[in-house]
Amino acid sequence: MATRLKKAVQVEQRPKAKGSPRGKRGIDLQKVLRERIAKQEIAPGSKLREQELSTEFGVPRALVRDAFCALEQRGLIERIPNRGAVVVRLDLSQVFEIYDLREVLEGLCARLAAQNSSPESWQDMVDMFEGPMEAYVKQGDYESFLAGYAVFRRRLIEAAANPVLAGMLDSIYEKTQAIIRRIIILPGRAEQGLSEHRAVLAAVRRGDAEEAERLRRENMRSGKDYLKRYQSFVL
């Protein structure tokens, strides 16, 4: 099962966008920058330098600027006169506002997924949550847990089959990934998250759209509650 999960994560991480700026070895520049920003390998407030990225990825500066345009449209960077491209820094009120929006959109996604899918299509996710995901929580392997969660979330989005909703979810999710990585290590959060995700999965699998939406929205609210409780430690 662990091998299947690893393969699923690899599929999830493959670049999907056509026409994205690619450099040496076919690296998707925009995707790499999005991941670095999400993981705070590039910290909020940091400046992105065209020439440095052009050299690192082996692409013309024009393609770096194209990537910057895409990142700006997603709200991950802003281009400031006389300063260039700077990674956006969200304040606490903005983070809570995003969580409020995520609650509605993720809930709708779960509802549509329950309506549009068959029970047997979720068996691999059941196996994942009953095996590897539980082990990751016990071992404190939060990196693998978040990778598994990303696979589950992507499956919900695909099952919902609503491209407009998918675009909105991806855009706001990227803005909160850094916060999610901080929340998951808080006392009891990983265990609670595992339980909540299992409940959502069970509702989706049995086709209970109303319950799936309710549980997914509760999942989003509990994440927000954790953030409020520990905000002075994680922000």
Three-state SS string over 108-144 comes to HHHHHHHHHCCHHHHHHHHHHHHCHHHHHHHHCCHHH
Q: What is the mean pLDDT of residues 184-195?
A: 94
> 85-122 pLDDT, tens per residue?
998 887 778 889 989 999 999 999 999 999 999 999 99
Q: Residue 43 falls within a domain, yes or no?
A: yes
CATH number at residue 220: 1.20.120.530
CATH number at residue 83: 1.10.10.10
53 and 122, same structural domain?
no
142 and 222, same structural domain?
yes
Q: Residue 95 falls within a domain, yes or no?
A: yes
Domain around 178: 91-234
Number of independent structural domains in the chain: 2
79 and 194, same structural domain?
no
Measured distance CA(123)–CA(50) in Å, rounded = 45
> 41-99 pLDDT, tens per residue?
888 889 999 999 999 989 999 999 999 998 888 878 888 887 889 988 877 788 899 89
147 and 46, same structural domain?
no
C-beta separation of 204 from 157 below 8 A:
no
107 and 32, same structural domain?
no
210 and 148, same structural domain?
yes
Backbone angles phi, psi at 86, to 5 degrees: -130, 135
